[in-house]
Structure 1
Amino acid sequence: MEAFDVLGDPVRRRILEHLAEGERSAGEVVALVGQEFAISQPAVSQHLRILRTSGFATVRAEGTRRLYALDPEPLGEVEDWAAGLRRFWEQRLDALGTELARGARARRAVDEKHDTDTTGRTG
């Protein structure tokens, strides 16, 4: 499953937010997310399985409990992809900022000239 397919689901994104705070038992995740999204334990378990098989989460056994943790590596890949887009927009936003600053300077110059013309003095 592609990273954005995994991250496209609000339940899985919320689970990842909880796991980003630290390791959680499957029961904790079910209680937190199940209540918030009004979904059953099997549905939450299915989301946990998808996160595990796609590499976004790891699981380890501790007795009868299953403890889930965030695996940041796939998120790094998503961040790298987004960085390419960010570079594209940053260049354009920088150019827009330059044009806005030029416009502001031009308006100040016109206002100062207008003040000088109407009062005979500057400022």
Structure 2
Amino acid sequence: MIIYGWSISEYTKIFLQAQFHGIWKAPSGNLVDITPGEFSHDKVLFLEDHHRIYIGEQVPHQRFSLGDPEKVEHFLFLLDSLTNRFYKLVEAGAKPGDPAICALRPMFNEVQLLKKEIRGEV
């Protein structure tokens, strides 16, 4: 049986993200998430949503800033841009080390620097 709800995760000191998600309820009653997440987490909170079901359309993620709102907004813009460009290249057949992927390195470095700045690590 599929249970629909929100997978809540934290990108430490930067933002919380709520992602509409489905998990499997095993006959034993255990809830099992068989989908890999965007970020690696030790724990993820799942909140069941009795009012929404999946109808074949992606539900936008909800994000909530934990740091300076302007910096977090810029971080999310860069992260989304980098992620979208990377996946388009991979879908087109690019492999690690390809020049097109290597060209993303400056944006990746900017994301990493901004992440450290928001977390107060620099």
Query: Which of the two has greater helix per residue?
Result: 1
Instruction: Give me the TM-score of the superposition, normalised by structure 1.
Output: 0.22
Query: TM-score under structure 2 normalisation?
Result: 0.22
Per residue, is there more strand in 1 or in 2? 2
Higher RCO structure, 1 or 2 (CA under 8 Å, sep 6+)? 2
Mark the structure with the bigger radius of gyration.
1
